[in-house]
A and B are shown apart, each in its own frame.
Chain A
Amino acid sequence: MNQAIERADFDLIASWVQPGERVLDLGCGDGSLLKRLIAERGARGYGVELEGAEVLAAIGNGINVIQGNLEQGLAGFDDQTFNHVVLSRTLQTVRHTERILGEMLRVGREAVVSFPNFAYWKNRMAVMAGRMPVSEDLPYEWFDTPNLRFFTLLDFEALCAKMGLVIRERQVLDEAGRLVTEEPNFLGSLAVYRLGR
């Protein structure tokens, strides 16, 4: 992900967090988002991260990070304890997609999910040209990508409907981090959703 789109993703999420709210950031990396939510929004919360190097960095950033594997669910986190449970640009790397979405709305009142749109026009162009897309936003080759799930806005919304999840808000960004309003499944590089039950 490029920095512009990361900043835009975080800007959107930050704008949805009210002062003092409790946030759980799944796949929190080095804790940059939580650090920002704590500093700018007075939020409280925890991050969950699997990779040791990221956990180390998050601890150095003063983040209350819990090392753990999202694939094993969120056992140990109580029902409805968080205002927002965030999964920023991570859903595509999770194998148990439905389970993690269900778990997010078990422990939180709202799930905030962002993911790269594989139907973005540049990705479509790459496939039309016969190759899997590799770009600044999808910087991996097919054989070394951590991404397990390849899906689009339409795919995701169909899953939400199947699971009975309510889409409260959807924002779509292009590669420069600008909001996309028309043809989002074609022009949007990253989608950010607020989900509830």
Chain B
Amino acid sequence: MAGIGIVAAQNAHFTQPLHLKGGGVLPAFGLVFETYGTLNAAKSNAILVCHALSGHHHVAGYTADNPANIGWWDNIVGPGRPLDTERFFIVGVNNLGGCHGSTGPASINPATAKPWGADFPVVTVEDWVASQARLADHLGIDAWAAVMGGSLGGMQALQWTLTYPERVRHALVIAAAPKLSAENIAFNDVARQAILTDPDFHGGHFYEHGVRPLRGLRLARMLGHITYLSDDQMAEKFGRRLRVGAGSYGFDVEFEIESYLRYQGDKFAGVFDANTYLRMTKALDYFDPAQDFDDDLARALARARAGFLVVAFTTDWRFSPGRSRELVHAMVHNGQSVAYAEIDSAHGHDSFLMDEPHYHAVVTNYLKRIKP
């Protein structure tokens, strides 16, 4: 079935200061967002889609200026798709600190009239949820029918149920974790070091030098990309195939996997902001709702009132099924409403973005619980 067609971004500006978990205050901020479908009269059919590390507000459809600019989760949003725009009003938003139109490090700091750069505060998952609540207010949505996200987006969906238990009826937490492992933080730090040590980074104030730390950003993305795929998938897709007939015993691109990673790195570095990347990975590292509850996840989640769908993918080693089961076990301990599906998929962490029929059917079936 065809998707939703041409979509356009909207902007909302908020002038009440936002107090951040890290201690800073944003005096004002803007969020860019897109909506699909129609908000019903009772405003009870709204679903918020939270994005992961590199995502943004353009979730579905394509922009008028570029039919190839298709939303990052278009395969799940649209008429007849799991997030059915005939039934639901879907909201996609670019997170605070992002680089796709919401206030972020490249925005102008009103105090200095220059780009924030390194001075833009580190924002957390909790801060994002607080800022998204302002957007819900702006749209007149008292309670989301559901909040949904994969990976870092799943953490936001979970946090919504904790910060605003009365404002979320269902949370779809996909390929996520209750907190990052040391190994996960380690991957993030290598990515950050690639950026921070790039001579073009200039301590985060590269905008005024007219350069961008492309090498660092590219390396960060290449590393990240390795961790989003599975070993099997890489073996199948690339194996040890060479781009040219035989090895040249040099260091140019030879193996297909090298070519692929460099392409992905270049593509990403061309469009993404290094300061945003640093902050997104920090938000991941800091997320740990159990921290304030003596590391007792069940106690941390006890205040949630939402129904949960937790989904994990068998080949995801960055956010493995075991991490999702920690969430599920805590919810079962609390007697909370939760369904858990562990999907067979070859695509590693990236599976949550794939058009996999069984996975999409699980989401469709779960959303039948929502009677707007």
- Contact status A60-B340, CB under 8 Å: no
A76 in contact (CB, < 8 A): yes
Instruction: Give the interface segment out of B55-63, B222-230, B364-372.
Output: B364-372
- Bound together, the chains give a CA A46 to CA B334 distance in angstroms of 12
Within 8 A of A (CB), among B318-370: 325, 328-329, 332-333, 335, 337-344, 358, 361-362, 365-366, 368-369
- Bound together, the chains give a CA A67 to CA B368 distance in angstroms of 19
* Smallest Cβ-Cβ distance to A67: which chain B residue: B342
* Smallest Cβ-Cβ distance to B329: which chain A residue: A76
The main secondary structure of chain A at its interface with chain B is mixed
A70 in contact (CB, < 8 A): no
Interface residue from A44, A62, A64, A77 paired with B329 (Cβ < 8 Å): A77
B309 in contact (CB, < 8 A): yes
Within 8 A of B (CB), among A49-72: 52, 55-60, 62-68
The main secondary structure of chain B at its interface with chain A is mixed
B-side interface size class: 20 to 34
- Bound together, the chains give a CA A142 to CA B256 distance in angstroms of 48
* Smallest Cβ-Cβ distance to B344: which chain A residue: A52
Contacts from B to A (Cβ < 8 Å): 309, 325, 328-329, 332-333, 335, 337-344, 358, 361-362, 365-366, 368-369
A194 in contact (CB, < 8 A): no
Given A52-B341, A52-B344, A60-B368: A66 in contact with B328 (beta carbons within 8 A):
yes
How many chain A residues touch B (Cβ–Cβ < 8 Å)? 21
- Contact status B333-A78, CB under 8 Å: yes
- Bound together, the chains give a CA A67 to CA B341 distance in angstroms of 5
Q: How far is the CB of A69 from chain B (nearest CB, A)?
A: 10
Interface residue from A46, A55, A59 paired with B332 (Cβ < 8 Å): A46
- Bound together, the chains give a CA A80 to CA B332 distance in angstroms of 13
A22 in contact (CB, < 8 A): yes
Contacts from A to B (Cβ < 8 Å): 22, 44, 46, 52, 55-60, 62-68, 76-78, 81
- Bound together, the chains give a CA A81 to CA B298 distance in angstroms of 14
- Contact status A59-B362, CB under 8 Å: yes
Residues of B within 8 A of A77 (CB): 329, 332
Residues of B within 8 A of A52 (CB): 341, 343-344, 358
Interface residue from A57, A76, A81 paired with B328 (Cβ < 8 Å): A76
Q: How far is the CB of B274 from chain A (nearest CB, A)?
A: 39
Residues of A within 8 A of B333 (CB): 78, 81
Residues of A within 8 A of B329 (CB): 76-77
> Which residue among B325, B340, B368, B369 has the maximum number of chain A CB atoms within 10 Å of its CB?
B340
Residues of B within 8 A of A46 (CB): 332, 338
Given A46-B332, A76-B332, A78-B333: A59 in contact with B358 (beta carbons within 8 A):
no
Q: Can you report 6 A-B residue pairs in the complex whose CB atoms are below 8 A from each other? A: A55-B341, A56-B362, A65-B339, A66-B340, A68-B340, A77-B332
